[in-house]
Amino acid sequence: MQRLFRLFKWLGGGAHPIRQWRYFARGQRRAEHARLHTFRLRFAPFALSQAALGLPWAGLALVAPASARSLFLALSAFKMVGGGALAGALVAIFFPIRANETEVRGRTFIGLSRRVRWDDIETVQSKRWLFAHYLLVASRGEHSLMWLPLFLCQQHDFERYVKEWLPLEHPMRRFLDESRPAAKSARETSSCQTS
């Protein structure tokens, strides 16, 4: 290792080769990350979707024996209030949608990260899941769909960028042109904080 370090220093490198490579790789990732536009999810639709999953516990509380009723009601209340708020906040903060001219980064239904190039998108279809509206993106070579939320804080900016980046015949561009109105209401962005 010492010989390698001396050779590297003799060739004109000042720092240790491994440290310099790490610095270069870290800088490369930062530069790539800086070119991506980040779009965060609105809190309310996802929180309501997760809170609605507590309704079966409330239904069990109605038919459960008296001894278990309070337990089911407590589980239902925790899931609807605490679980919905916690899941909504975590997803809104830590799972944004990122996009640039070449790709979009999102998640599958179970939360796995997915990077899809715009050229690889074959079909898109609209899906409403409880209180949240999604766009299911099918791409070449992938078996699971990417669930692209359509309740972003900067939804208007996302659609504007997509319309700038994609040609008219692209499936996502066609979907946004046909079924999504261009003007957004103030209600849609009222629950987001600008940074």
Which pLDDT belongs to residue 159?
93
Q: Which of 92-101, 133-142, 186-195 bottoms out in mean pLDDT, i.e. has the lowest?
A: 186-195
Question: What mean pLDDT is predicted for residues 142-162?
Answer: 91
| pLDDT exceeds cutoff 50 at 14 | no
Q: Which residue has the tokens 């700038």?
A: 164
The pTM of this model reads 0.68
| Domain locations in the chain as residue ranges | 43-92, 97-186
**What is each CA distance from 170 to 39, 57, 94, 97, 148, in whole angstroms?**
21, 43, 29, 19, 16
pLDDT of residue 195: 47
